[in-house]
Amino acid sequence: MKFTDGLWQLRPGVTALYAAEAHDIWAEDGTVTVTAPTTVIHRRGDTLNRPVLSLTLSSPLPDVIRVRVDHHVGGGEERGFELLGAEDGHGVVKADDTHGATLTSGALSATIAPGAPWNLSFHGDGRPLTSSGHKSIGYFRLADDAHVDPAPVGAARSSAHLAQQLSLGAGEAVYGLGERFGPLVKNGQTVEIWNADGGTSSEQAYKNVPFYLTSRGYGVFVNHPGHVSYEIGSEAVQRAQFSVAGESLEYFVIYGPTPKRILERYTALTGRPARLPAWSYGLWLSTSFTTDYDERTVSSFIDGMAERDLPLSVFHFDCFWMREFNWCDFAWDPRVFPDPEGMLARLRAKDLRVCVWINPYIAQRSPLFAEAAERGSLLKRPDGSVWQWDLWQPGMGLVDFTDPEATRWFQSKLRALQIQGVDAFKTDFGERIPLDVAYFDGSTPERMHNLYTHLYNTAVFEVLEEQRGQGEAVLFARSATAGGQRLPVHWGGDTGSSYESMAETLRGGLSLAFSGFSFWSHDIGGFEGTPDPGVFKRWVAFGLMSSHSRFHGSSSYRVPWAFDEEAVEVTRLFTKLKLRLMPYLFQVGVQAHETGTPVMRPMAMEFPEDRNVAHLDTQYMLGPDLLIAPVFSPDGTVEVYLPDGTWTNHLTGERVEGGRWRTETHGFTSMPIYVREGAVLPIGARDDRPDYDYLDGLTLRVYPGPDGETTLTVTDQASGESTPFTITRSGGQVSISSSRTSGWTYELA
């Protein structure tokens, strides 16, 4: 939200109180507490009738500093995010009357200068990172007719806000803030953290995360699960501003200095992604949304894939596995699926996993509505009546996941499906959460709007882990917020079916990766409408070079032969390519689980020292060693940037020197896939399934690189046991040693 009218004035109807000086500074037990009057105190009389802001600095983890700003505290502690990694006892304080106070945590420090003007500065390894200077911390009151930007659709306007501005250096680029489909670099943008069901072609987003990181080596996480408004160099062009409604604001500054290290510390605080089973990396095929289907249709798709030698791992049933107007009653529509247990057993006999679509809304016609209402499991209005509306499903209500009993009731319906043979759930929706409700646990509706979907996904994920065990649970989730990365996989939502839609989808995935999410997918071919065969084939290559891959659409099927025979060939080529890469991809997924580094990485994350990639959002790294550049043009022309080093085309073996742009033209059975200099790529022996013994017939493909010793690890997907390999290069010679002496070989690329 913008509060000012240029440099000198406030907008009409806005009054502001700024932290003017550090009047008192207390240091005790690793904590710094500051009283910041809203004017400079020259004499004792200035302390009367004077609002103050109180700041508290502490450290919950090494290289992380918490800043809390309070105006009035009588309202009590509001709900924040679950900070799984926060601990007590970090941070060392040095304070004196001359220099103020410095809180140091690891290589990160925060210094409060005494007196006026107000100054809070952050340093990493002694290097300036960012600062909060004159008129940078403000408490704002808004009149009813204040000339400020309206709140996002569905969000309430508040009369009181706290805002923090942090300086941006020359050339400093800001990334993250959730899944956003516009430019990857957020400088110059206004971003509203407010989950919405708006597709992929607007400023709205399904996955809003109040966390950003910058090219200067630090990240900032706002611990506010409700509406957070960002002005990234868009109100004060030299500053990044974030504001929240109410009387308190809490944020964390997280030091890197590299993007990966920032994400490692951010996910240590908010949670790392669960480890995923190998089968989830294979190809998923969906019934699509509004298409007609029954078991015969489903079997024709599955058999058609097998007949065409198109390996399939998961079949997904979208909404109409349940009867219309009954969503969600978690019951198979008996008119088209009269024998669900038998059908699921037949699919299992074809070596397939099964996923079904669900959402947290209960339609009035569903028998579960009366059951849930009688139990008190549905969200209520403040007057005690059940909240309902007719959007999506007539008379639908929402499960109140702040009620443990309601959550257990919802989970019991999922357990019944798992007993039938369902392996995974697509957790759709969860964004349009109203404010005129009263939660069971007393949570503020504004704070619960974005957090609701996290409670929903958590409830489902718990059932999957309980029934399948850790490392076997898989969601396919659309909405999320901070912490949602713990519950993979997430997909990009409802897109168009054009080259432009494919490009905006990628931008959303890269922005989400910068927000701490490690696993990501999207609807191959787009969702709305039907793509032309060219778009579909290009999207197949892109989708199968993503961490997770699913065919899905709205009103038309997405089986490849519905487009043309070449689409079948493209699907076969890239599916088998991905399956041969499973020893590499699975290991990258293990690393994501252990460190929070995403599987799909923006170029600026993998090469932060290369200024040429700062704004690059048309290509990415798949793990540390594979560069992928999807083709977004009808004629197959693609511009790809290769950082310094010697790169090898994975499909042709051609060597290319980097440090420059290339313009290439590709047919549908090709795309730019380059292997990084010095890589050792573990290639599996099978291309018919993702879950096989990676060490049986493993080939380590060694690419040109400098002399020295490197270590590569391959993890067995079944047992979880890791096998390290030591690769030694010397004078053009390569040797590899390992505790495992058989079952693998190596080759020079």
Q: Is 367 inside any structural domain?
A: no
Distance CA 725, CA 654 (A): 26
What does the pLDDT read at residue 75?
Answer: 85
Rg (CA), the chain: 27
Query: What is the number of other CB atoms lying within 10 angstroms of the CB of residue 97?
Result: 8
CA atoms of 598 and 205, how far apart (whole Å): 20
Split at pLDDT 50, 70, 90, the class of 89 is confident
Distances in whole angstroms, Cα of residue 616 to Cα of each of 22, 169, 215, 564, 606? 41, 20, 13, 33, 12
Compute the C-alpha angle 122/125/127, nearest 5°: 55
Q: What is the pTM of this model?
A: 0.97
The string of DSSP letters for 645-669 reads SEEEETTT--EEE-SEEEEEE--TT
Nearest-angstrom CA–CA distance, 595 and 68: 27
Q: What is the pLDDT of residues 576-604, one digit of tens each?
A: 999 999 999 999 999 999 999 999 999 99
Q: Write down the pLDDT at residue 76.
A: 82
* Whether residues 412 and 547 fall in one domain: yes
Confidence of residue 648 (pLDDT cuts 50, 70, 90): very high
- Structural domain includes residue 502: yes
Residue 97 pLDDT: 82
Are 335 and 230 in a shared domain? no
3-state secondary structure of 453: helix
In percent, the amount of the chain with pLDDT more than 70 equals 100
- Domain total for the chain? 4
Tell me, yes or no, whether 390 lies in a domain.
no
CATH of the domain at 623: 2.60.40.1180
Q: Is the pLDDT of residue 736 over 90?
A: yes
In a shared domain, residues 288 and 266: no
Phi-psi region of 534 (alpha: psi -120 to 50; beta: other; left: phi over 0): alpha
Q: In this prediction, what percent of the chain has a pLDDT beyond 90? A: 97
pLDDT at 467 over 90: no
Tokens matching residue 129? 């990172």
pLDDT value at position 77? Answer: 84
**620 with 477, same domain?**
no
> Which of these three, 675, 698, 733, is where a domain ends?
675
Domain membership of residue 631 as a residue range? 600-675
Same domain for 332 and 428, yes or no, is yes
Span between the terminal Cα atoms of the chain, in Å: 54
Residues with catalytic annotation?
Answer: 428, 431, 494
* Beta pairing, strands 397-398 & 127-132: unpaired
For residue 534, what pLDDT band results from cuts at 50, 70 and 90? very high
Does 136 reside within a domain?
yes
Has residue 469 got a pLDDT over 90?
A: no
Do 261 and 285 reside in the same domain of the chain? no
Q: What pLDDT, on the 0 to 100 scale, is given for residue 504?
A: 98
pLDDT at 88: 83
Q: Would 381 be classed as within a structural domain? A: no
Cβ within 8 Å of residue 554, ≥6 positions away: 288, 289, 290, 494, 527, 528, 529
Structure tokens that stand for 73 in this block: 């505290």
What confidence tens digit (pLDDT) does each residue in 542-571 have? 999 999 999 999 999 999 999 999 999 999
Is 623 found in the same domain as 577? no
**Which of 353, 317, 280, 124 is CA-nearest to residue 217?**
124
Q: Where are the beta strands (DSSP E) in 133-233?
A: 137-142, 160-167, 174-176, 189-193, 211-214, 218-222, 228-232
Residue 164 CA to residue 355 CA, distance in Å, equals 44
pLDDT at residue 716 tops 90:
yes
| CATH number, domain containing residue 324 | 3.20.20.80
Residue 248 sits in the same domain as residue 338: no
Query: Are 509 and 583 part of one and the same domain?
Result: yes
Residue 78 — very low, low, confident or very high, per pLDDT cuts 50/70/90?
confident
| Domain assignment of residue 542, yes or no | yes
Q: List pLDDT tens digits, range 483-498.
A: 999 999 999 999 999 9
- Domain termination residue (choose one: 631, 651, 675): 675
In this structure, the answer to whether residues 588 and 618 fall within a common structural domain is no
Quick check: 468 pLDDT over 90?
no
Position 393 in a domain: no
pLDDT, tens digit, for every residue of 387-408?
Answer: 999 999 999 999 999 999 999 9
**CB contact at 8 A, 477 and 179:** no
Of 595, 618, 650, the residue that ends a domain is: 595
Whether 432 has a pLDDT exceeding 90, the answer reads yes
pLDDT of 455? 98
Q: Could you give phi then psi for residue 531, rounded to 5 degrees?
A: -70, 150
The answer to whether residue 21 sits within a structural domain is yes
* Average pLDDT over the chain, rounded to an integer: 97
**Pair 143, 208 in one domain:** yes
In a shared domain, residues 578 and 633: no
